Amino acid sequence: MSMINYASREINCKLVYYGPGLGGKTTNLETIHGKVSPDTRGKMVSLATETERTLFFDFLPVDLGTVRGFKTRFHLYTVPGQVYYNASRKLILKGVDGVVFVADSQLDRMEANIEAMQNLYDNMAEYGYDVTQIPFVVQYNKRDLPNAAPIADLQAQLNPGWPVEDTAKQKEVPDPYHEGEFLVQQVDGQWVERAPYFESVAVTGDGVFEALRAAAKLILKSLS
């Protein structure tokens, strides 16, 4: 739930990083925290266990610039990746404006990715939200590892697309981030839409900002 504060001239939006355990959600935030100028970001808060597993959430506020004279302030949250903490994971989704799903590209984490994606849909539905109708980006992390699955396989499993029922939206939309690919297209006679995807290596920062910017842009456009 974005909040426009006319008194402080700020637009506040909530972006949640979701995904399986040890997939790199916290690392994403740490990278953003490390690379963004201290003038444009706040303090990073991590509620983690002694072994640095996220217990409740990580939180980082960043300012991404000004639109119509209003400061655009994004509150970035991660959820605990472990299923054990589902109750607190669900709480973080309350009032969410957009989601970045951080998938672990490693072949042996495919099952965990699928489970986390299903859990995202389920938890969103409990609030009456539909993840396919809000700003949603998929980030395939750990692309540098030798056992990373091919993007085509990850896309087929995690981001195969959802049906587009609205006839007004049944037209090809090219993927601005990947030449020759489409976000909306007809597959076997059925119109489908996919979330924009990005490849990343969160520890080095590759692809992290691209995913963040894409999600932030979609959120602001959803307000316009």
Interface with another protein (CB under 8 A) = 1-7, 11-12, 14, 42-43, 45, 47, 56-57, 59, 61, 64-68, 70, 72, 75, 77, 87-88, 91-92, 94-97, 127-130, 133-134, 176, 213, 216-217, 220-224
Q: Where are the alpha helices (DSSP H) in 56-184?
A: 86-92, 110-126, 151-158
Shortest approach of another protein to residue 109 CB, angstroms?
28
Q: Which is nearer to another protein, 85 or 104 (CB)?
A: 85
With residue 216 as reference, give the H or E element that holds it. helix 208-223
Shortest approach of another protein to residue 67 CB, angstroms?
5
Shortest approach of another protein to residue 147 CB, angstroms?
33
Q: Which is nearer to another protein, 56 or 155 (CB)?
A: 56
- CA distance to 90, 144, 181, per residue, from 16 (Å): 11, 24, 26
Q: Please give the angle made by the CA atoms of 93, 212 and 24, to the nearest 5 degrees.
A: 70
Shortest approach of another protein to residue 42 CB, angstroms?
5
What whole-number distance in Å separates Cα of residue 81 and Cα of residue 190? 33
Q: Which is nearer to another protein, 70 or 182 (CB)?
A: 70
What whole-number distance in Å separates Cα of residue 111 and Cα of residue 34? 31
